[in-house]
Amino acid sequence: MTTHESAGIARWRQIADSLRADIAEGRLVDALPSEMRLAERFAVNRHTVRRAIAALGEEGLLTAARGRGTFVAPRPGRIAYPVGPRSRFSENIGAASREPGGSMVGATREPASTEIAGLLGCGIAAPLARLDLLRVADGAPVIVSTLWFEEARVPGIVAAFAELGSISRALEALGLAGCRRLWTRVSAIAAEARDAERLHCPLATPLIQTTSLTAAATGEPVQYARSRFLGSRFELLFDHTAGPAAD
């Protein structure tokens, strides 16, 4: 089986991806090697390197100066995002000293799928409130998340969120204080067209996908969530030493 793994991806794109990874990991700082050197390193024509650099320039990662060289823009750094029973977006981003933000990009009703019905413990095709949120840090979108609630259990959740601007506060307002996250599942996926558009990132950008189940203080499941984080901007932190009883 002679499959070329790189099939279908233009050479300049591969070079841009490689340089972008080097920049994200901090392996490449300050001045970039000259176009000729890079062309030699990647065994490619100078024009091909130039195209890769142009793409990264449009992303704001590089700036070129005629006669001087090309330079790496100061990188934003990864946002440390602790995940635990009490995780809330606003706290996490706040702790990282970045302005939190978020906007509702969609609020619909849909019947429960077999999977979600099983997780939330409601009937199949029971009416769910679905909330689509876009979360922003430093003025750029970084997370898209979709939340599902059984409508009968939390009536008016959408209106409450719209008013209070926070899921946890909206739940408290509905008499559900002290909600706890039961578990989190993590996988990695490639950004599809819709995600890429919303997150303002190139197609096929690696995203961290998490799904999680949150329960009320009574233990009753309340919220099922599916989030996608910009892989290059985040690092999820799981602390295995802090137990559920400890805070």
Partner DNA sequence: TATAGTTGTCTACACAAATAGACAATTAAA
Partner DNA sequence: TTTAATTGTCTATTTGTGTAGACAACTATA
Residues found near DNA in the complex (CB under 7 A): 7-8, 10-13, 32, 34-37, 43-45, 47-48, 50-51, 53, 64-70
Distance (Å, whole) CA 42 – CA 12: 10
**The 3-state secondary structure of 35-53, one letter per residue:** HHHHHHHCCCCHHHHHHHH
Q: Report which of 144, 117, 115, 139 is spatially closest to residue 128, judged by C-alpha positions.
A: 117
Collapse the DSSP code of 31 into the 3-class scheme (helix H, G, I; strand E, B; otherwise coil) and give the result.
Answer: strand
Complex with DNA: residue 192 or 220, whichever CB lies closer? 192
| Least distance to a second copy, CB of residue 162, Å | 28
| Least distance to DNA, CB of residue 232, Å | 22
**Residue window 152-191: x/- pattern of binding to a second copy, with contact defined by CB under 8 A:** ----------------------------xxxxxxxxxxx-
Collapse the DSSP code of 176 into the 3-class scheme (helix H, G, I; strand E, B; otherwise coil) and give the result.
Answer: coil
| Least distance to a second copy, CB of residue 182, Å | 6
- At 164, which helix (H) or strand (E)? helix 157-164
Name residue, tokens 């990009």: 105
Contact residues toward a second copy (CB under 8 A) are: 1, 3, 5-10, 12-14, 16-18, 21, 55, 58-59, 78, 83-85, 180-190, 192-193, 196-197, 201-208, 229, 231-232, 234-246
